[in-house]
């Protein structure tokens, strides 16, 4: 199988405008164990992802989910299957990835989950290995990786032993994914040149960290690692990872779209003159992570326009009562941060009065069958 390395990189002669429909536009979802099963939190996440154009979600904390409700049991795994199905069928998410630290987790949990679900809309599409072998404090004696993975399996507790373990796990995960058409990917920080080549040849794509606080330096920050990745005998498929953490690009993304960072990055890659870039393909980008992203909910979506079929009044709402008339519809009221605070189903040719007196004054959005209007609560 041709290897795809996801590193925070750009595609050769990449044209973001021409390829906007095929770009991987990814978001790491942290604290997913606290989101799954809470419909309001799930829908807030998915509304946010849709509003920002993300089409790939990489889920953290699946081990926590599994230990509280087994993912290898189709009954207890139903909330996860329902979430993935909803993401794919209602919110424009084309791929969902599972993130883990070892082959065992993918082989014995995630892969088993996938095999137990025949519907492709319930399945994971990506196996994402995250094992930071370059961090001394994690891999040296006493470190979490040393005590959890390296010592028990006979690897030395240093960066050399950690990379050997990582490479073995990555190769196994890639082989496992190949059997069922699942993409293997990994995230890298600071491998050396030899390690970078080996990584490219043992997975489908590489995500490369571009953790800086100035978006104008993301490309130069990752360029040396792109050169190392390009040294492999197969083309490196890469994606940069931008961080919304406050010490990195958190302030920048408050007033810029997630896509803009990649647009700027890809321009620099297109202008690259090094011959090495012919062996690098830029697939898209990834953002870390959902909890750090600004959640102001701006809807550039379909506004409710046919007032003969849908009536929402009064607006502003001054008495705490919102009246809705529609011909069979699903209603949600969302905060300006995208959090769903009210839901209601109205039957055909029905009307409903929704009590919003418990909501604070301010701007909200009402979603009716995935079309939106802005409403204002302004009680005296």
pLDDT at 8: 41
Residue 172, H or E segment: helix 159-178
pLDDT score for 340: 79
Which pTM was predicted? Answer: 0.75
**What is the average pLDDT score of the chain?**
89
Average pLDDT of the segment spanning 74-97: 96
Round to whole Å and give the CA distance between 137 and 141.
8
Res. 19: pLDDT tops 90: no
Mean pLDDT on 146-173: 97
Structural domains present in the chain: 24-292 (3.20.20.80), 311-377 (2.60.40.3080)
Give tens-digit pLDDT for 268-283: 999 999 999 999 999 9
231 in helix, strand or coil?
coil
Instruction: Kindly provide the b/e burial profile for residues 72-82, where b requires at least 16 CB atoms within 10 angstroms of the residue's own CB.
Output: eeeeebebbbe
- pLDDT at residue 61 above 50? yes
What's the average model confidence in pLDDT over 171-197? 97
- For residue 186, the SS3 value is strand
Predicted pLDDT of residue 154: 97
Is the model's pLDDT at 370 over the cut of 70?
A: no
Q: What is the pLDDT of residues 311-333, one digit of tens each?
A: 888 888 888 899 888 877 888 88
In this predicted structure, what is the pLDDT of residue 379?
A: 75
Q: How confident is the model over 231-239, as a mean pLDDT?
A: 97
Overall average pLDDT of the 7-11 stretch: 38
Rounded mean pLDDT of 326-352?
Answer: 79
Q: Give me the pLDDT at residue 205, please.
A: 97
Quick one: pLDDT at residue 6? 44
The answer to whether the CB of 128 falls within 8 A of the CB of 110 is no
% pLDDT > 70, the chain: 89
For residue 89, the model assigns a pLDDT of 94
- What's the whole-number mean pLDDT along residues 336-354? 78
Higher pLDDT, 182 or 364: 182
pLDDT band at 336 (very low <50, low <70, confident <90, very high): low
């Amino acid at each position: 199988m041709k290897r795809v390395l996801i590193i925070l990189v750009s595609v050769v002669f990449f044209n973001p405008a021409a390829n906007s429909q095929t770009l991987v536009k990814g978001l790491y979802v942290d604290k997913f164990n606290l989101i799954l099963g809470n419909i309001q939190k799930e829908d807030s996440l998915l509304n946010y992802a849709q509003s920002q154009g993300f089409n790939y979600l990489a889920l953290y904390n699946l081990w926590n989910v599994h230990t509280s409700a087994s993912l290898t049991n189709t009954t207890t795994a139903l909330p996860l299957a329902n979430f993935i199905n909803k993401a794919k069928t209602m919110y424009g998410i084309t791929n969902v990835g599972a993130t883990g630290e070892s082959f065992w987790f993918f082989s014995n949990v995630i892969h088993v989950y996938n095999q137990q679900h025949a519907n492709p809309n319930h399945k994971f599409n990506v196996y994402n290995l995250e094992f930071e072998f370059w961090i001394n404090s994690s891999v040296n004696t006493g470190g979490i990786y040393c005590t959890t993975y390296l010592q028990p399996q006979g690897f030395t507790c240093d960066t050399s032993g950690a990379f050997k373990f990582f490479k073995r796990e990555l190769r196994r995960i890639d082989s496992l994914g190949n059997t069922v058409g699942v993409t293997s990917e990994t995230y890298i920080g600071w491998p050396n040149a030899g390690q970078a080549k080996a990584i490219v040849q043992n997975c489908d794509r590489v995500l490369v960290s571009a953790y800086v606080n100035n978006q104008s330096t993301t490309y130069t920050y990752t360029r040396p690692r792109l050169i190392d990745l390009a040294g492999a005998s197969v083309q490196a498929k890469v994606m940069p990872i931008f961080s919304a953490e406050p010490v990195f690009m958190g302030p920048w993304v408050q007033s810029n779209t997630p896509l803009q960072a990649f647009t700027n990055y890809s321009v620099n890659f297109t202008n690259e003159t090094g011959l090495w870039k012919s062996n690098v393909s830029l697939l898209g980008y990834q953002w870390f992570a959902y909890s750090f992203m600004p959640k102001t909910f701006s809807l550039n979506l379909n506004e409710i326009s046919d007032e003969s079929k849908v009536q929402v009044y009064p607006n502003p709402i001054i008495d705490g009562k919102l009246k809705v008339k529609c011909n069979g519809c699903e209603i949600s009221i969302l905060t300006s941060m995208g959090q769903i605070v009210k839901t209601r189903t109205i039957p055909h040719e029905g009307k409903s009065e929704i009590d919003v007196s418990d909501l604070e004054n301010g701007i909200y959005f009402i979603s009716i069958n995935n079309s939106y209007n802005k409403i204002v609560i302004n009680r005296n």
